[in-house]
Amino acid sequence: MLPRAEKKLQTRHTLLQSTLDLMDGGRGFCGLSLREVTRQAGVVPAAFYRHFEDMDQLGLALVQESTQSLLTAIRQVRHNELEVGGAIDASVRIFLDHVEANRQHFMFLAREQFGGSSLVRQAITNVYRQFSNDLMADLADMSRLKHLDREDLAILSDLLIKAVFSSLPDVLDHLESPATAPFDPQSALVHKLRFIMIGAKHWLGIRGGKDQRL
């Protein structure tokens, strides 16, 4: 028999995994009920409340768990300098390998960043904001971007993070049905990032000259 603490931890994990499994069918987090989750997990509803106050708290726990998968991907990507050429290709490949290996977690983040739970949406937004701040610090160390000030770097990091995470639905759809996908999301993401970085390299700054205006 498992020790009490280990059994409790296992039940918590089962509740989280059961939620992800239920969402695998295309349902959003807010479309799930507590009873569905506990039934899928094979526990009584009363057991749920020994781990979470309500479904929103379970959702926040899923954000935290999914963030760990995201952190692993970002840590490796940050070792590859974001520049025009091979580094972007390598960084995207590393990231997408982690997406494939942790598909359910990234599916949760991709869907629930626009989901019905305001608490979960805000938690995901905070995660993205933290990654954007970390990326901004990395970009500030790049010699080719020394002409950009802090405000420019903040905009650049936000553009890069949003480009990556807005591509998640296409990436995940491609993993589900690669034969029917109209385009390769990996190539599309690489082109987006190159486009942004080329623009940043030649950007004169927010307070630059009129020649930047379209």
Q: How much is the pLDDT for 95?
A: 84
User: Is there a shared CATH topology between the 1-52 domain and the 56-212 domain?
Assistant: no
- pLDDT at position 82: 47
Q: Where are the domains of the chain?
A: 1-52, 56-212
Its CATH class, for the domain covering 1-52, is mainly alpha
**Among 6-10, 87-91, 200-204, whose mean pLDDT is lowest?**
87-91
- Evaluate whether 140 touches 115 at the Cβ level (below 8 Å): no
In this prediction, residue 84 has a pLDDT band, given cuts at 50, 70 and 90, of: very low
What distances in angstroms separate CA 193 from CA 85, 99, 164, one per listed residue?
Answer: 10, 18, 8
**Averaged pLDDT, 194-210:** 78
Task: Give the mean pLDDT of 90-105.
Answer: 86
Record: fold of 56-212: Tetracycline Repressor; domain 2 (1.10.357)
Output phi, psi for 184, to 5 deg.
-90, 110
pLDDT-based confidence at residue 143 (cuts at 50, 70, 90): confident
Distance, CA of 118 to CA of 151 (rounded, Å):
28
Output the DSSP codes for 25-91.
Answer: TT--GGG--HHHHHHHHTS-HHHHTTT-SSHHHHHHHHHHHHHHHHHHHHHHHTTS---TTHHHHHH
156: Cα separation from own chain's centroid: 18
Mean pLDDT of the chain: 85
Identify the pLDDT of residue 18.
Answer: 97
Higher pLDDT, 79 or 149: 149
pLDDT over 90 for what percent of the chain?
Answer: 41
> Which of 54-58, 137-141, 171-175, 202-206 is least confident?
202-206
User: Is the pTM here over 0.85, yes or no?
Assistant: no
**pLDDT score of 58:** 97
Give the pLDDT of residue 124.
93
Q: In this predicted structure, what is the pLDDT of residue 175?
A: 77
Mean pLDDT of 76-87: 56
DSSP 160: H
- The three-class DSSP label of residue 175 is helix
Residues 6 or more apart whose CB falls under 8 angstroms from that of 173 comprise 181, 185
102 has a pLDDT exceeding 50 = yes
pLDDT for res 179 = 62
The 10 Å CB-count burial string (b at 16+, else e) for 105-120 is bbbbbbbbbebebeeb
Question: What does the pLDDT read at residue 83?
Answer: 45
Mean pLDDT, range 150-172, rounded to an integer? 90
